Chains A and B, each alone.
Chain A
Amino acid sequence: MERSDHDRPSHPREDEHEFSEERESLWRITLGPTIWAFHFLISYAAVSVYCFKFERMFSMGALRIALIAMTVAMLAAIAWIGWRAFLRWDVRDTGEFSNPEGSAEDRHQFLGHAGFLLALVSFIGVVYDTLPLIILGTCR
């Protein structure tokens, strides 16, 4: 049996409930890019300070391992955020790729869609940030 939420008589408080959740969701879509931004900032700052001040004092090994561990943790967080957003988008159940209608439910699913795409681009961004660390591994 196909779900058809739009035909169902809505509960009088349902919209309000959805809307309150949506406010949270609006914040949630920024989480992926925020993690990406912090990853970039921390990696860049740590490596430049190390290369400028401490290159001759100790090897880069420990810093590399710490940054790679941070990267793995951040990628896991972005993947989790992306998965939650994917569920919110609900494309598998509804088959609705886009949600243009502007109802509370549509907004909810749209934010899931946007959050998922932002998590995806953040994931790729974090991987790209980390490639120099893995491939180069020196200050030169």
Chain B
Amino acid sequence: MPRETRARSIFLPGPSRLALLSFLLFAACEGRQSALVPGGEDARILGDLFWVMLAGAVVLWFGMNGLFYWATRRSPAAHSQRIANWLVILGGIAFPTVTLSALLVYGLSIMPDLRATGNGPVIRVTGEQWWWRVEYQREDGSTVITANEIRLPAGVRSTFLLDSKEVIHSFWVPSLGGKMDMFPGRVNEMTLGPERPGIYRGQCAEFCGESHAWMAFEAEVMEPEAFEAWLAAEAAPAVTPASAEAARGAALFLSQGCGACHAVRGTPAVGRVGPDLTHVGSRHSLAAGRLGTSPEDFAKWVANPGAWKPGAEMPAYDHLTGEQIDAIAAYLEGLE
């Protein structure tokens, strides 16, 4: 019966279909934004919690279905009142009480680890539509301002002071730990203890408007010395343009009024509305994880931000010629 064979091939998973299915299931477990591939202490603790809960759920699932099978196929006759009473007392009262108590004690016992006090840098992160204002608060009282990227030293707990400008956002780097909401007018404190150097991905985890899905960031965990060197470089003013094209771009950047919203420290551009661009060329991504950082990416963004991030406040600079946009892109890309 050819019809039936055909139907089977569609609905029953063959080996290749199973492979595809498992790929789709497990693809999300790999990579730099997975809570199941921990890059730090917190994610490891939460990952353990997940596996413990999953293992318990699997055991319960088989146990309950085993009981259904036993009660309907193996021993379908009515049980005595006595056995039924004990089944309810043991299975309905004693077992859930013991299991829930154990889970509650386990859950409570890991909470202090996740809320341990920070002993590393203090970073204030403010959610804006749809990017992240990042301020490193140094011990000497000075502040290093950057945006859309977090760098952390491995092996110490960094403290995050989370705030928001207009709507509720949520700060989450799944590979490094749990998430925490960012509320306007309230500072939430969270600490993270990254351990494994690498570049992870963070994502806004609370719907915050049109471009919520495009509100991401890169989180790089570095060796402590490398981190200190990076922070010192980040605190320095912007480099001067290295080429004639970049110098033209710098002049255009100022004449087009970009400095009203963006700051490039060491230049007349001191705006605080949009992201600080002093070292934008050294970041791993542009526009909060939306684009890469090649000159082409900068040009694409400057020409029409709304095409990449619907609702973004930055206007399109499509009245400029391609050459002018390329010059601005060369300038920004060179700001390392």
Please give the residue numbers on chain A whose beta carbons come within 8 Å of chain B beta carbons, in ascending order: 97, 120, 124, 127-128, 131-132, 135-136, 138, 140
Partner of A140, one of B93, B97, B109, B112: B112
Give Cα distance in the complex from A135 to B105, angstroms. 8
Asked, given contacts A97-B81, A97-B85, whether A136 binds B111 with beta carbons under 8 Å apart, the answer is yes
| Residues on B with beta carbons closer than 8 Å to the beta carbon of A140 | 112, 115-117
Partner of A135, one of B93, B108, B117: B108
Near A by CB (< 8 A), chain B positions 60-110 give 81, 85, 93, 97, 100-101, 104-105, 108-109
Main secondary structure of the interface of B (DSSP, over half): helix
Please give the residue numbers on chain B whose beta carbons come within 8 Å of chain A beta carbons, in ascending order: 81, 85, 93, 97, 100-101, 104-105, 108-109, 111-112, 115-117
Would you call B108 and A131 a contact (CB within 8 A)?
yes
| Residues on B with beta carbons closer than 8 Å to the beta carbon of A97 | 81, 85
Would you call B112 and A138 a contact (CB within 8 A)?
yes
B284 → A minimal CB distance (Å): 32
| Residues on A with beta carbons closer than 8 Å to the beta carbon of B104 | 128, 131
| Residues on B with beta carbons closer than 8 Å to the beta carbon of A138 | 112
A108 → B minimal CB distance (Å): 21
Would you call A131 and B105 a contact (CB within 8 A)?
yes
A-B contact pairs, 23 of them (CB 8 A): A97-B81, A97-B85, A120-B93, A124-B97, A127-B101, A128-B100, A128-B101, A128-B104, A131-B104, A131-B105, A131-B108, A132-B108, A135-B105, A135-B108, A135-B109, A136-B108, A136-B111, A136-B112, A138-B112, A140-B112, A140-B115, A140-B116, A140-B117
- With most chain B CB atoms within 10 A of its CB, the pick from A124, A127, A128, A140 is A140
A16 → B minimal CB distance (Å): 33
Give Cα distance in the complex from A96 to B97, angstroms. 25
Give Cα distance in the complex from A75 to B333, angstroms. 68
- With most chain B CB atoms within 10 A of its CB, the pick from A127, A135, A138 is A135
| Residues on A with beta carbons closer than 8 Å to the beta carbon of B111 | 136
| Residues on A with beta carbons closer than 8 Å to the beta carbon of B101 | 127-128
A35 → B minimal CB distance (Å): 18
B103 → A minimal CB distance (Å): 11
| Residues on B with beta carbons closer than 8 Å to the beta carbon of A128 | 100-101, 104
A121 → B minimal CB distance (Å): 9
Give Cα distance in the complex from A140 to B97, angstroms. 27
Give Cα distance in the complex from A120 to B97, angstroms. 11
Give Cα distance in the complex from A128 to B115, angstroms. 21
| Residues on A with beta carbons closer than 8 Å to the beta carbon of B105 | 131, 135
Give Cα distance in the complex from A127 to B108, angstroms. 14
| Residues on A with beta carbons closer than 8 Å to the beta carbon of B93 | 120
Closest to B191 in A: A140
| Residues on B with beta carbons closer than 8 Å to the beta carbon of A124 | 97
| Residues on A with beta carbons closer than 8 Å to the beta carbon of B109 | 135
Give Cα distance in the complex from A131 to B101, angstroms. 9
Give Cα distance in the complex from A132 to B111, angstroms. 10
Give Cα distance in the complex from A13 to B116, angstroms. 68
Give Cα distance in the complex from A124 to B100, angstroms. 11
B29 → A minimal CB distance (Å): 31
| Residues on B with beta carbons closer than 8 Å to the beta carbon of A136 | 108, 111-112
| Residues on A with beta carbons closer than 8 Å to the beta carbon of B116 | 140
| Residues on A with beta carbons closer than 8 Å to the beta carbon of B115 | 140
